[in-house]
Amino acid sequence: MIIGTARIYLFANWVHSLKEKRMVVKSIIDKTKNKFNVSIAEVDDNDLHQSIAIGIACVSTDKRHADSMLQNVLNFIEENTDAVIQDIETELL
C-alpha cells in the first residue's frame, strides 16, 4: 500500500477577510472532491486571511499511480484558482 500526500501553499492577495478565504478554500476543496477520489482539507494558516494551506492524500498500490494522482490534483487546483502557488510538498510513503 502506497500513501501519497501533498501540501500546497497558496497566496490569495485579493482576499480581505476570513469569510472570503473560507469561500475560496471551500470552492477549491469541493471542486477537487467532485473530480478526484482523494482526501483534501485545509491544514494550516487558518487565521491568516491571504494564506491558504491545503493537504491532499491518496492511497494506491503503485508509486507511479499515486504520484500521477497527486500531480493531476495539483494541476487541477492550479488551473481552477486565481491564488498564486507559493510552495508544494509531496511525499510517497
- The answer on pLDDT for 2 being more than 90 is yes
- Residue-level pLDDT at 49: 85
Q: Check residue 38 and give its pLDDT.
A: 94
Q: Is 5 helix (H, G, I), strand (E, B) or coil?
A: strand
Place of cell 471551500: 26
Give one DSSP letter per residue of 36-80, joined into a string.
Answer: SS-EEEEEE-TT-SSEEEEEEEEEES-HHHHHHHHHHHHHHHHHT
Catalogue all structural domains in the chain, each as residue range(s) with its CATH number.
Answer: 2-92 (3.30.70.1120)
- What pLDDT is recorded for position 66? 94
The pLDDT assigned to 87 comes to 95
Per-residue confidence at 92, pLDDT binned at 50, 70, 90? very high
C-alpha cell at 50: 491571504
What pLDDT, on the 0 to 100 scale, is given for residue 48? 86
Q: What is the pLDDT of residues 49-85, one digit of tens each?
A: 899 999 999 999 999 999 999 999 999 999 999 899 9
DSSP designation for 17: S
Candidates 35, 16, 42; CA nearest to 79 is: 35
pLDDT digits (tens, 9 = 90+) for 11-35: 999 999 999 999 999 999 999 999 9
